[in-house]
Chains A and B, each alone.
Chain A
């Protein structure tokens, strides 16, 4: 079966960029009254689905990898996340659940606690992005085209498009700054065919020198 057909029908794009610049602190939000037409939206990565396959680019500071990123939902409510290069070489295969993870395989140079923690946190925000749109307090954005949900206990902001009520952006904050942004773009049948992730590294001693050695 052709890869393209398997993707039904388009190739998804997944981009992770990890940089060292800092960002602004969460600005004050103004509440809005907004009534939803649709029911509470499900997670994009339906646990009952077969698999999601992306053309992928991962930029870790100065190092850049391209390849194929696979997300496979598992029966125990976890996800297998696999990254391969075009030649089929497997760089990592990590199984992630909401409160645990298991490394099936990781390339030696990536096998560092700080890098694994980064991937696990990224993919958790990406994969477990269920947000109670109906019952959460909603805030306005400046342009008025999006509304924002800030679940009480979480450190994330969820940006929802007002028109089609789809999740288009997640921002994650530390007490002082924005640390992670995920953008969902180019929707087809309410699924984002392009996903970009930008992670701000706060740790100055983040070590990625050996990635290509």
Chain B
């Protein structure tokens, strides 16, 4: 009888374990060593300049909403995130200051006194630097295939949980830099951002990260 129950439980749970692993990826065996490699690679990066393509998938739409842009990052907390298609939209992060230009006017926000913008600020900087893997606000699992290390982050904080069910970060195995990011919602909708034409450690002026 006990054996029958065990077989039944095993039969029910096995597919759950299989499906919890992303398709085409295997769980990383030496999690600490891989996390260390990502961390030391990101420590060497002082600046990044890259283009990106963002896909917003909504189940109700037959086509994803695609936007394109470029970003510049400078350690430790300077980010210029600029959409150029389908319309101009600029986000600048500089310490606790955040500027948004919607193509017509610029507005300044203090991320220190604004919880939602602080979350966005920390999320974006953490994603680009790979620092987010160290964050206590997420449960982390690491997977790999031939090309990528996949970090799957499950948010713990209620603020982040409201928007996202998981964040998948794909690190390129060649240089352990972030290659793409997929942020999934509970509904099954998601935002995927792919990075290309990346240039690391080039000179970027501080003036690019503020608006006077």
- Point out residues on A near B: beta carbons under 8 Å: 1-4, 6-7, 11, 50-51, 53, 55, 57, 64, 66, 68, 70, 72, 80, 82, 84, 86-90, 93, 104-105, 107-108, 212-213
Contacts and interface: CB of A to CB of B under 8 A. Distances in A.
> Can you list the 8 inter-chain pairs with the closest CB atoms, starting with the nearest?
A88-B191, A3-B86, A72-B60, A88-B56, A3-B66, A66-B102, A4-B86, A1-B63
B162 interface: yes
A11 B116 contact: no
B163 A7 contact: no
Given A90-B185, A107-B162, A213-B114, A4 B63 contact: no
A1 B63 CA distance: 7
B85 interface: yes
Interface string B98-117: 00101000010100001111
Contacts of A93: 187
B6 interface: no
Interface in B172-205: 183, 185, 187, 189, 191
Contacts of B117: 212
Contacts of A2: 66, 85-86
* Chain B residues touching A, majority SS: mixed
19 contacts: A3-B65, A3-B85, A3-B86, A6-B65, A64-B107, A66-B102, A70-B58, A70-B65, A72-B61, A82-B60, A84-B56, A86-B91, A87-B91, A88-B183, A89-B120, A89-B163, A104-B187, A212-B109, A212-B117
A82 B54 CA distance: 18
B62 interface: yes
Nearest to B120: A87
Interface string B148-184: 0000000000000011000000000000000000010
Q: Size range of the interface on B?
A: 20 to 34
Contact of A1 (B66, B91, B116, B189): B66
B61 A3 contact: no
B89 interface: yes
Contact of A55 (B87, B107, B189): B87
Contact of A57 (B67, B102, B109, B185): B102
A11 B87 contact: yes
B61 A70 contact: yes
